[in-house]
Copies of this chain bind each other. A is one copy, B any other.
Amino acid sequence: MESTKTLEPAVPVRRPYKLVSREFHPEDSVVKVGSVVFGGPQVVVMAGPCAVESREQVMASGEFMQQLGVPVMRGGAYKPRTSPYSFQGMGVDGLKLLAEARERFGVMIVTEAVDHGSLHHVAEYADIIQIGARNMQNFELLKAVGQTGKPVLLKRGLSATIDEWLMAAEYIAAHGNLNIILCERGIRTYETKTRNTLDISAIPVVKQLSHLPVVIDPSHAAGTWQWVAPLARAAVAAGADGLIIEAHPNPAEALSDGPQSLNFPHLEELVGSLRKVADAVGRQL
């Protein structure tokens, strides 16, 4: 088992996590995805549809992201859905569409893996492997994604503490992969107006405890597209290293998460405002 290597006495344990801790690596770490760098001066915007639905939808999205200067496109080919009767994603066919969009529009691709089978394919086609909130403590999947060595976007679980989230990252790190980008996407609380409660404090707390880059998903936190823009601006002001935003060429017809998806004009408007906020806190976007 690979993790035994990390148990050597040369690595003193003061917190439950060590490879991902600030103590182990005092400098900010950066994760490079092609020419995109997470954890440096740039605030990286990732955007795109919740789910891959069709060639038209993916190509329209890829083209718009290129025009807007959004360097990474999101889109789910494997969808973990609460109901077994909901659309479960296009699978490998969806991945191929994403890869085609990368080819044509020069955008990097982030997409989710949900088990060993899908991970095999996602690792082949994507630039960043997303581990979703529901799988944050799917430890067997974490071990496997650790072995790929590829950049990983690790979402915080719905009710994971910050310590548990960093321990999940430690699983990936302990299996050989430190290319980890942490993603806060809202936690479950008693408040029901928003889909989840964005824990904006997670940004400075994680930055103090860990050297890993942190990005924010304002879309799943808000659950309503009108609230995505102020949350995105808040994230940049609080020091986030990036954003992952749901946007769709036609939100009203989206197969999933339509109500929280921005249309393209609203995304464009948001990106413009984010540039000003990034500038105000000494970053660029």
Q: Name A117-161 residues within 8 Å CB distance of B.
A: 117-118, 134-135, 137-141, 143, 158-159, 161
Q: What chain B residues lie within 8 Å of A226 (beta carbons)?
A: 204, 208
Q: Complex Cα distance A113/B188, Å?
A: 26
Q: Name A215-252 residues within 8 Å CB distance of B.
A: 221-222, 226-227, 230-231, 233-239
Task: Using A234-B234, A277-B237 as known contacts, say yes or no to A221 and B201 having CB atoms under 8 A apart.
Answer: yes
Q: Complex Cα distance A93/B231, Å?
A: 42
Q: What chain B residues lie within 8 Å of A46 (beta carbons)?
A: none
Contact assessment for A201 and B189 in the assembled complex, using a CB-CB cutoff below 8 Å? no
Contact assessment for A189 and B189 in the assembled complex, using a CB-CB cutoff below 8 Å? yes
Q: Name A88-124 residues within 8 Å CB distance of B.
A: 88, 114-118
Contact of A281 among B84, B118, B197, B277 (CB under 8 A): B277
Q: Complex Cα distance A198/B158, Å?
A: 16
Interface residues on A, range: 35 or more
Q: Complex Cα distance A226/B204, Å?
A: 8
Contact assessment for B174 and A84 in the assembled complex, using a CB-CB cutoff below 8 Å? yes
Q: What chain B residues lie within 8 Å of A273 (beta carbons)?
A: 280-281
Contact assessment for A161 and B230 in the assembled complex, using a CB-CB cutoff below 8 Å? no
Judge if A171 is at the interface, Cβ distance under 8 Å: yes
Q: What chain B residues lie within 8 Å of A135 (beta carbons)?
A: 138
Task: Using A7-B85, A191-B162, A197-B199 as known contacts, say yes or no to A80 and B233 having CB atoms under 8 A apart.
Answer: no
Q: What chain B residues lie within 8 Å of A205 (beta carbons)?
A: 193-194, 227
Task: Using A171-B84, A194-B205 as known contacts, say yes or no to A281 and B227 having CB atoms under 8 A apart.
Answer: no
Q: Complex Cα distance A285/B26, Å?
A: 35
Contact assessment for A6 and B138 in the assembled complex, using a CB-CB cutoff below 8 Å? no
Judge if A67 is at the interface, Cβ distance under 8 Å: no
Q: What 5 additional pairs, Cβ within 8 angstroms, besides A114-B140, A203-B230?
A: A134-B139, A193-B201, A193-B205, A204-B227, A204-B230
Interface residue ranges, A against B (CB under 8 Å)? 1, 3, 6-7, 13, 16-17, 80-85, 88, 114-118, 134-135, 137-141, 143, 158-159, 161-164, 167, 170-171, 174-175, 187-194, 197-201, 203-205, 208, 221-222, 226-227, 230-231, 233-239, 273, 276-277, 279-281
